[in-house]
Amino acid sequence: MRIIDVHTHIWTDKLAPAAISAVGAQGHIGAHYDGTVSGLLAAMDRARIDTSVTLPVATKASQVRTINDWATTLVGHERIVPFGAMHPDFADPAKEIARMRKHGLTGFKMHPEYQRFEPQEPRMEPIYEAAIRNGMTIYFHSGGDVAFTSVRGTPKAFAEVLDVWPELHAVLAHMGGFRQWNAVPGRIAGRDVWLDTAYTLGHLPDEEFVELVRAHGVERVMFGTDGPWTDAAAEVAHLKSLPFKPAELRAILGGNAERFLAR
């Protein structure tokens, strides 16, 4: 069974120690690898994960190009699929999104809390337009975040985005809304959008997790760990312990992500 983790985080070797310290302190969470490429690969080996998608977050517009320049150096890596970054205050998102695509990036991450935006606000329209035009995926943090009391990326907000932008290719991390799961069945489940399991196992009761996966459709749910903030091996074991059929488990752990990444 091929295992693909669609939700991980890494930084350059120089930046990783400070980033791990800052994010960990802000969210009161511990890291399970050091945030470097080599640390991620070692964690993947321990968990027998074949491929990981890396998702950078630009907390300032000025960081976007630098992050994307580094992400492009990982394009073609045998085990890592890099995504880029975008920020709602970036001056010319259409140009940068086209540049990302030209250099082999197929998507980018956005985080409503760290970047202080509402998914349905007009400021996001040029980004959605450019993502659709360039065939790019937007990978959204959805729901709450352990480091923030605000919740901008609610299931309701993302449902409004999907209503207006039906061609948008998007992932809503954390099963459609961390700690907002009660709103996901009525707003998101069954819609043409991907969900991931990152930082959900153990936070959403197992029975409710399985129900939500099936309500949305097993074929649109992908395995993610949110590494380094979880133990990847434990996440794999937890998912395998749930009452999914073998074919469903294969799809969630890797088969769905293969289709997602082949787009």
**CATH code of the domain in which 184 resides:** 3.20.20.140
Q: How many domains does the chain have?
A: 1
Tell me what pLDDT residue 1 has: 86
Q: How many CB atoms lie within 10 A of CB 69?
A: 12
What lies within 8 Å, CB to CB, of 100 at 6+ separation is: 68, 71, 72, 84, 108, 134, 136
pLDDT of amino acid 263? 83
Helices assigned H by DSSP within 7-116: 16-27, 37-47, 64-72, 93-102
Cis ω for the linkage preceding 166 (within 30 of 0) = no
Residue 129: per-residue pLDDT:
98
Containing domain of residue 204, as a range? Answer: 4-262
Q: Which residues of the chain, if any, have pLDDT below 50?
A: none
Contact by Cβ (8 Å): 14, 36: no
219, 185 contact by CB (below 8 A):
no
DSSP structure class, residue 91:
S
List the structure tokens of 53.
Answer: 């998608």
Query: Is the model's pTM score more than 0.95?
Result: yes
Per-residue model confidence (pLDDT) at position 26:
93
Query: What CA dihedral angle connects 103, 12, 111 and 259, to 10 degrees?
Result: 50
Question: What is the radius of gyration, based on Cα positions, of the chain?
Answer: 17
SS3 at position 152: coil
Summary count for the chain: helices (H), strands (E): 11, 9
221-222 β-sheet, strand order: 84-85, 107-110, 137-140, 169-172, 194-196, 221-222
Nearest one of 222, 219, 212, 209 to 254, comparing CA atoms? 222
The span from the CA of 75 to the CA of 85, in Å, is 14
